[in-house]
Structure 1
């Protein structure tokens, strides 16, 4: 059995509008829309294609909008591409964001609901990730978090230091998972979290038990009776292990 980081889940006031922004931003398709849920997939991908990465937007009545510990980094192929992408994103409704980044070669923006993300300068490491270079998680101890996620996922650990750690799928497909050191103590639930897909999906309960043994804990967000299980990693970041609907 194995677990794959298959998608990010983003809470939204208006899932449809935010989904349209990101579909236009990434050049992806709105794969399905239902009451309160909008799903995005790369063009031509069919869930759950193991080579693809997805985004779900889920409407909640009052999504937290003050502090984030999870964000997306977008990849670019050249300086001209970075400038064009930033301009296009602003035309779509993104706005510049100051998170104390100072003078850096990447551009920090916020989507129409205030979710912060970065448009990176061209980097060779991200040349084959697709439009999303990385899912970035702030944490107090990247080394410890890397140990947890390295054991949790059927992925490859590429780097682990006191300040930064990176993992990616063993087959080299899709974005990186990056863990970066941040000084703040977490005291809120995340508006953005990752979803894990077991293979086979019927092995969910065994995978959940394995994650608990690694240090994950159960979380009650009021989800009720659902086919997925909500857990938190050792630093309290929520994630879901998906099951058969």
Structure 2
């Protein structure tokens, strides 16, 4: 169920990003972890738990996983830091509420800290002074494996400006700022079954948006409650519902 705040915002643009959805083992527990870490409210839904976002911060949704995790996720979250003490405090807080350190091959001289939430979802706490995420808020970035083509696709879908487009890497951001969505360019990790994360969108005029998404290169996969599931040009599932 969409909150009134989300529903009101949908009218401003044809398609709105409601949340980054995660399949999770024990979605309620994983949602509580993120709610405490990001100081978000918790909204129980029929299918899971929503941590609503706003015009500047992406929402997060957690639903029960139907498949086992295979390999690393195709997207992960980047949290920002106000300073060295802020980064340490964020890491300590995450560890105290169920997170754990993760070795993904990061180098000792790299300033970010790689962690996992209780649902085995990787995320990073970025060092202070990282200019690319300056002013983006606590949830600074949704970092995705993906081609330049898929970054351009999402730029067109959400009508967000391309704020980075260099060397096959792309990033988009709402016109009002906040969380960036970024794609790292090739080589793109091989997709291993259904993704455990996806973008959940909402549209006031669902049929018009279904046609527009198809024209932009989305592949219709299946009808879902209240809407349609698609795949983007890199094969990543996403969902759009009418409101």
TM-score when normalising by structure 2: 0.86
User: Which residue does the alignment assign to 1:46?
Assistant: none
Residues 1:37 and 2:44 aligned together: no
Check the 8 A contact 1:135/1:177 in 2, yes or no: yes
Indicate which of 3, 14, 25 corresponds to 1:2: 14
Distance (Å, rounded) in 2 between the aligned partners of 1:186 and 1:158 = 26
Give yes or no for the alignment of 1:135 onto 2:142.
yes
* C-alpha distance after superposition, 1:12-59 (max 9, x if no partner): 1211111111111111111x22455111135xxxxxx54553111111
Residues in 1 aligned to 2:94 and 2:38: alpha-carbon distance in whole angstroms = 10
Q: What does 1:114-125 align with in structure 2 at a 5 Å threshold?
A: 114-122=120-128, 123-125=130-132
How far the C-alpha of 1:149 sits from its partner, in A, is 1.6
**In structure 2, C-alpha distance between the alignment counterparts of 1:225 and 1:146, rounded to whole Å:** 25
Aligned to 1:239: 238
> What corresponds to 2:106 in structure 1?
101
Aligned-CA RMSD value: 1.9
The structure 2 residue matched to 1:181, chosen from 185, 189, 207, is 185
Corresponding position of 2:3? none
Q: Given the alignment, which residue of 209, 212, 215 partners 1:210?
A: 212
Q: Is the 8 A contact 1:6 1:52 kept in 2?
A: no
Structure 1 contact 65–115 (Cα < 8 Å) conserved: no
TM-score, normalized by length of structure 1?
0.85
Residue 229 of structure 2 corresponds to which residue in structure 1? 230
* Alignment correspondent of 2:202: 197
In the alignment, structure 2 segments of 5+ residues that lack a partner are 1-12
The structural deviation recorded for 1:190 is: 1.2
Distance in structure 2 (CA, Å) of the matches to 1:167 and 1:127 = 14
Deviation of the 1:132 alpha carbon: 0.5
Is the counterpart of residue 26 in structure 1 residue 38 in structure 2?
A: yes
Contact 2:27 2:49 in 1 (8 A): yes
1:8/1:109 Cα in 2 relative to 1: closer, same or farther (>3 Å)? Answer: same
Q: Which residue is equivalent to 1:86?
A: 91
Aligned pair count reads 228
